[in-house]
Structure 1
Amino acid sequence: MSGLDKLTLVCAAALALGACDAATETAALAVAAEAPAPEAEVSERGGDAWCDEFEAGEGASTDCALRVDDQRFLYLDYLTDDDGYASQLVLSQHRFAGTTLATSEPIDVEPVYGVAGLRDLDGDGAAELLIPLFSGNVNTVFSVWHQDETGLFAPVGELSGYGIDSFEARNGLVIAPSRGNAVTHYQAASRIGASGLEAVYEIEIDYEQRTCQLTYSTDLAAAGLDAASLIADCEARDWGN
């Protein structure tokens, strides 16, 4: 799909949400046709970018869209406070044909690093949506949205970690690495169950002592795990990385 086609689709979604008007769309299309640019820069030209086309470190709290498949896309519309900072966002789910499938209530957000993204967290073949809610010095807290059997996304809980690319699907579990300080890191495992995101275990990793400690666990046997193997696997890591 060309950048011009993408711009048309995203601006059409914005029109449906009242985020831009016909004059804005016309101006954006004219600029795009005259001087094509990377889609991540389209927002500066009157349209909205595709979230996954921002360069690393760019696009935080910026209106953007995510393509789910050939039929559907998501639109993130950030709302600013009186000081001009993003304080909430509204997520809407659409068909490319023009149908709005669902619109969320405003979601509270704080300053973040990075943008929303799609990643299959539980290995079921359908991507979850991760929306950054707030960032610390290293870790970011994400709202996790799971697709149901109809393809609609609904929130199931929150994950904290380095970023979307650091999360891993492993044997039906969601593995989320994070850092407490320079020498203390964590590996948290959870599953997406009927009640949402359910914690399974957490391991504290001490890079100074080169040891791992299980700080929380529940129903390890049901997940095909045991404490001794988890610790052994953790301590067999390459401690130089």
Structure 2
Amino acid sequence: MTAAAIHVRGLEKSYKTLRVLRGVDFEVARGSIFALLGSNGAGKTTVVKILSTLLKADAGTAGVNGFDVTTQAEDVRASFSLTGQFAAVDEILSGRENLVLVARLRHLEGPGRIADDLLERFSLTDAAARKVATYSGGMRRRLDIAMSLVGNPPVVFLDEPTTGLDPQGRLEVWRAVKELAGRGTTVLLTTQYLDEAEHLADRIAILHEGRIIVNGTLAELKRLLPPAKVEYVEKQPTLEDVFLTLVGTEARGEQ
């Protein structure tokens, strides 16, 4: 395994005759936000499932926090937290009770203190005693991310974390994700929202038809297309321009 927090080489996965991954390669630097961008069905969730040891690859290698996902699965599972597309919170409990429960299940000392620290960190202290059923979508997702940080995992997988959220909820989650990386957590973010990748990611990889077709910083991706000139004003290409040019116009109807 390399010094990178996440290491993927030649990853392949098929479901019967459907080839989902066709040789995926990328690395994620420690303490960075890496966005895996692609349309529905591109294979983003399959990559996350393999990295989180929920699914076995047909070929290739992958590592998380220096551990091989196949031969050191237990060490890998101790190194990350996974937040799926829908908030996995108990609506009957309060926000604080959800966090205390997770801390106790992980046999950590001082579960109340851990809960209070995370509530403050994610601006949920005022709502700590309220039942989660009364939370907005953004608050639930922030609580869900907070729950995934109980025990301070070095790596967090966020699989389309803003699905179904309104604009305000998305902004709340974006702030939470930036705060994660600011504290040194490595974040692998899957998304189909171009603006989300553009706002959050240090590096962006576009996954299309089971392959990474481009991988770089936002500035590097924009340089793939020449700037458009409109009435003598130079216009830089957006991430959407890059994505649709590389993937093809069929992706426009899937967004």
Higher helix share: 2
**TM tier, smaller:** under 0.3
TM-score (normalizing by structure 1): 0.27
Higher strand share: 1
- Is the radius of gyration larger for structure 1 or structure 2? 1
